[in-house]
Amino acid sequence: MSYGPNPWQQTNWDWRAAGNFVCGGAGGGLIVFAALSGAQGLALAVLLLGGMALVGTGLLCVWLELGRPLRALHVFINPRTSWMTREAFAATLLMPVALAAAASLLPGLQWLAAALALAFVYCQSRMLQAAKGIPAWREPLAVPLMVLTGLAEGGGLCLAARAADDSGQLLVTLAGAVVLARAAVWFAYRRRVAMSVAPRALAAIDSAGRVLQFAGSLLPLALLALAASGVLGAAPALVVVAGLLAAATGAWFKYTLVTRAGFNQGFALARLPVRGVRRS
């Protein structure tokens, strides 16, 4: 690694950190869409447990990344200023509530689980944006982009899981709206970071963005429209493919953003000392 005025790629967050954003965001989004889907009984329990498993996998990735895993509880000591601490608290509340909702202990608990899952995804997005040394991450639009990507992943997984059970037009409409909103925010985000990120970071963002926009937005929306119109038949299969594409491309974009677009801004020296020239 060469330190100097040119940006270089950060090495603190690797695939394990990306795994937290990928799995945690998808799991939180799945719990939100589990509540929105209107599923009941076993169907609701499967969706909630699936979301919990993904969130837990993401947290396991973070634990594996720690240099001293036995000190993981130290993450809870700074809730006033740390979004990682707030994420940990949100996850701690989410898990028992989602488990109770899956067990149908009280009616309506899935809505509380959905609210906590949304808070968890929001804390994740703020945690990324708080890394002020990375231009691709500190952009304010990274927050809604990460939130919408998590919701689109969860919505896609929910569509794929419920396609054979007649997901319902409302669920398809909500998932399509989130995918469309994600695409719009990505365009705005790309325009905002174009002049501030390193060329290699922009190339990584563009590469993953093309996949996100075409395979993760245009194609799923077209498949959902075809499924709704019934032109080609086999509507459940089309919904499954659309949902999986929306989820997989969102995961790839987040992985790329964390592992390949994480270039800092380099050193900015407004004035350089010159030998023999008096300082003014």
Would you call 133 helix, strand, or coil by DSSP? coil
pLDDT at 65: 74
- Residue 20 contacts residue 124 (beta carbons within 8 Å): yes
Lowest-confidence segment of 190-194, 201-205, 209-213, 262-266 by average pLDDT: 262-266
Residue 203 pLDDT > 90? yes
Which pairs count as long-range contacts for 61-67, CB under 8 Å and 24+ apart, including other chains? 61/15, 61/16, 61/17, 61/18, 61/19, 61/20, 61/23, 62/16, 62/17, 62/20, 64/16, 65/13, 65/14, 65/16, 65/17
Domain ranges for the chain, please list them.
15-259
- pTM here is 0.89
For residues 1, 194, 206, 132, the Cα torsion angle rounded to the nearest 10 degrees is 50
CB atoms within 10 A of CB 248: 17
Q: Which CATH number is correct for 15-259, 3.90.950.10, 1.10.8.640, 1.20.1630.10, 3.30.470.20?
A: 1.20.1630.10
More confident residue, 63 or 76: 63
| pLDDT tens, position by position, 209-255 | 999 999 999 999 999 998 888 766 578 889 999 999 999 999 999 99
Integer Cα distance of 196 and 203 in angstroms: 13
pLDDT in tens, 19-52: 999 999 999 999 999 999 888 899 999 999 999 9
